[in-house]
Amino acid sequence: MKEKLTTYKLTRHPVVRWLLAINLIITGTVNANAQLHQYVDPFIGSEGDGHIFIGPSCPYGMVKPGPDNLKTSNSGYSPGADKAIYGFSQVHVSGTGGGPKYGNISVMPFSGNEDDIKQESLRNNEVTHAGYYSVRLQKWNIKTEITTSSKVAFYRFVFNDQNKKAIKIDAGEFLGEKPVPDAREAQQFVGSEIEIVSDNEVKGYSRIRGGWNNGTAYTVYFHVIFSHPFNRFTTWKGVQLFAGKKIQFDEGKKTGALLFFEALQTDTIEMKIGISYISTLKAKQNIDVEIPHWRFEKTLQETQAKWEELLKKIEIDADASVEQKKLFYTALYHTMLMPVDRTNENPLWENGPYYDDFYAVWDTYRCSHPLITLINESRQVDIINALLQIYQHEGYMPDARSGNCNGRTQGGSNAEVLIADAFIKKLQGINYSLAFDAMLKDATIPPGGNEEKEGRGGLTDYNTLGYVSNSFVRAGNRTLEYAYDDYCLAMVAKGLNRMGEYRRFLHQASNWQNLWRPIEDNGSKGFIMPKDASGNWIDSIQCDVNNGRASYIKYTPLAQDWPVCVCWWCGFFYEASSWEYSLSVPHDVAALIQRSGGAADFEKRLNTLFDKDLYNVGNEPSFLTPNLYHWIGRPDLSSDRIRKIIAKNFNASHSGIPGNDDSGAMSSWLAFHLVGLYPNAGQSYYLLNTPAFRQTIIHQENGKDFIIKANHLSGKNCYIQSVTLNGKAFQQSWIEHEDIIKGGELVFEMGDKPLEWGTKILPPSLSTDSF
């Protein structure tokens, strides 16, 4: 396939780009229902803070090939037109913050100086779509297209210069390298190897450690097969080139190969790269199993079909706008990029489902996993069983994990919430007794010197004082989150009839109150504030010492001690202020309201938060907050806030995600709100809000459909007047998971002002429910 080069300015207008992409890729009739994957625009969130990976991937796909043009970028990608592509590497993460991870096994077509390991080019004609990516390398006019199966990347290169066709394979490249040994969050090179297997095959590996989660060394093995033979090659080790040398074994130096195809008559060269975490032979086997042919379009279509299969589980109103469809289906797509299914690719132990790149559960427990549960319950069962295998073999479930290694707890030990969510929603195929042991481990055994890696940091304080004192970093959110984790433990304990543990953890679920200080700020009273181990409130926090002089900041509910005063991970709260965190009591909003002075004060408090911009739309701690109006009988206000937040912050442009997508966390928050449901993860229900669509059908794995209708919905008719479930009046502003699972029809009658619905019966809270 050769096409005339058109110089093409990168446009930010996504619809034009998307239509163009479709035209380029899709042939034949487009069936509107069957082609939901066409609404996926991987560029959404790729600019700004979204950090979205733009290359092709299968759902939960292990291989994520894509362009690298910025070594400090989490996704490898920078939208900057001045940033030259220096390679296409095979493993990436999506939406993450902190230090980069992966970026391994970099390939690069080039027509440049053949004695130079460095080959890079500016780009144009960049096109991306679910399962597809293409770009033109401007410098040499080389077109590169990529599609992928689960473990194999498929490349098609079209060269312009017949006499200079070369491809570089770099086993030493990776993202986030820093010259300082053991620099925090930097990946570090351990070793690599490359071997020319035949005149169209190359294999090897890259071994890297560190990165965001400070992980132990992981090894990405690869096997490359070309559609055509290269006529000569040069390999390298370190900075030295060796023409014709077939093997560069691992002696702790970077290795790679330059392959020359100038003897070839055709201008098109295709390439398959199988990836494995087991061995090069397994990488080759992955090619044999997944892409045993040279039909690029077949692989692309198969991957599109995999996405289609999952995306169509939630069928939204056919009349929704293209923008809405793009927003929604891209959000679903983002949610299913990670964690990564590495079953049969686990180098650590035998058997069982294996998932990696929980990055982090702290981000994804709130919406991503509940969304996976709704769309693809069996997948969530596998993921939880993978977590339990990690617990069994390594001692703790991860709060975050990447590169086969737990690392970087953020706040609570949030795998507990995933287990409670599965238990309370009655997911089958999980050993809940084992799962409870794993939860208990988190709640009772301090991780000691591994507090950044796993478990509950500050647990010794928490389990003796009832809160984490300022002797420990992140004491504020740790206390809050552990209290919620303990609620989750209590619920599972109760279900397993372990009543002693139930009572203990139910009691501890109120521990957040031990840091509740009745001070006033911006007109509201009562905030989670730091306390020392003797029980004294802390009024100021010591900053780092400069030139021998310590400075202090007064600690107020809006104070932010990180990262200016103490390190990024060392503040009283993680990534948010007390104004935000003091509203984070998902299991007992009623008690929170009571401690805040009652419903009126609480409403005022919420209004202050949003109206004074004390709320951070781009981060997880406030995910539930817009819904808290439900608990004062004002679901209409929740819906108002949510609608405004989405309108202001989310759109289908490249910068359409307001914060790190965090492997789909932000996107799943959006997706839920677009259909009018919002999960309170770890609990059995969804809060109901005004949906964006007149109709949504959830096609569940059990074969039963659940339909959400919003009759008379319009920009003006945005208030729920009344609700029926399966034809019967439904007064409550939340719905139980079991009512969805059964299948049925939830109908909102919409109108232009709020009525009585949702004002009388309030959603569940620990202190008002009978336990």
Residues that bind its own copies (CB under 8 A): 182, 188-191, 193, 195, 205, 207, 209, 216-217, 219, 247, 249-252, 278-279, 281-282, 284-285, 344, 347-351, 392-396, 441, 445-451, 455, 460
| Buried/exposed code over 718-755 (b: 16+ C-beta within 10 A; e: otherwise) | bbbbbbebeeeebebbbbbbebbbebbebbbbbbeebe
The Cα 458–Cα 446 span in angstroms is 8
Nearer to its own copies, 247 or 322 (CB): 247
Nearer to its own copies, 80 or 252 (CB): 252
The Cα 420–Cα 485 span in angstroms is 9
What would the two tokens of residue 767 be?
A: 């202190």
Smallest separation (angstroms) from its own copies to the CB of 285: 5
* Residues contacting 489, CB < 8 A, separation 6+: 416, 420, 436, 439, 440, 443, 501, 505
Nearer to its own copies, 450 or 594 (CB): 450
Smallest separation (angstroms) from its own copies to the CB of 221: 10
Smallest separation (angstroms) from its own copies to the CB of 293: 20
- Do residues 74 and 93 make contact, with C-beta atoms less than 8 angstroms apart? yes
191 pairs with which residues across the strands? 207
Smallest separation (angstroms) from its own copies to the CB of 319: 49
Smallest separation (angstroms) from its own copies to the CB of 287: 11
688 pairs with which residues across the strands? 677
Smallest separation (angstroms) from its own copies to the CB of 345: 10
User: Residue 722 carries which side chain, given as an amino acid letter?
Assistant: S
Nearer to its own copies, 63 or 713 (CB): 63
Nearer to its own copies, 461 or 661 (CB): 461
Smallest separation (angstroms) from its own copies to the CB of 40: 33
Nearer to its own copies, 17 or 284 (CB): 284
What would the two tokens of residue 486 be?
A: 């303990």
Nearer to its own copies, 320 or 443 (CB): 443
Question: Residue 269 belongs to what H/E stretch?
Answer: strand 268-276
Nearer to its own copies, 475 or 590 (CB): 475
Smallest separation (angstroms) from its own copies to the CB of 439: 13
CB atoms within 10 A of CB 428: 8
Smallest separation (angstroms) from its own copies to the CB of 185: 15
CA 398 to chain centre: 15
CB atoms within 10 A of CB 164: 17
Nearer to its own copies, 208 or 747 (CB): 208
Smallest separation (angstroms) from its own copies to the CB of 201: 13
* Residues contacting 199, CB < 8 A, separation 6+: 229, 230, 231
Nearer to its own copies, 266 or 279 (CB): 279
Smallest separation (angstroms) from its own copies to the CB of 62: 16
Nearer to its own copies, 44 or 397 (CB): 397
* Residues contacting 553, CB < 8 A, separation 6+: 540, 541, 543, 559, 561, 565
**Beta pairing, strands 268-276 & 255-260:** unpaired
Nearer to its own copies, 329 or 396 (CB): 396
Nearer to its own copies, 390 or 718 (CB): 390
Smallest separation (angstroms) from its own copies to the CB of 517: 28
Smallest separation (angstroms) from its own copies to the CB of 170: 18
- Do residues 116 and 170 make contact, with C-beta atoms less than 8 angstroms apart? no
- Do residues 134 and 43 make contact, with C-beta atoms less than 8 angstroms apart? no
User: Residue 711 carries which side chain, given as an amino acid letter?
Assistant: N
> Residue 346: which of 399, 395, 438, 276 has the closest Cα?
276
What would the two tokens of residue 367 be?
A: 């919406």
By residue count, the chain amounts to 771
What would the two tokens of residue 383 be?
A: 């993921």
Nearer to its own copies, 380 or 409 (CB): 409
What would the two tokens of residue 675 be?
A: 């259909």
Query: Exposed, middle or buried, 24 (CB in 10 Å: 0-12/13-18/19+)?
Result: middle
Nearer to its own copies, 396 or 678 (CB): 396
133 pairs with which residues across the strands? 128, 146
The Cα 470–Cα 559 span in angstroms is 15
- Do residues 331 and 667 make contact, with C-beta atoms less than 8 angstroms apart? yes
Smallest separation (angstroms) from its own copies to the CB of 350: 5
Smallest separation (angstroms) from its own copies to the CB of 279: 5
DSSP 378-436: HHHHHHHHHHHHHHHHHSS--SSEETTEE----SS-THHHHHHHHHHTT-SS--HHHHH
Sign for the CA dihedral angle at 80, 303, 665, 762 comes to positive
DSSP 51-77: ----S---TT-S---EEE--TT-SSS-
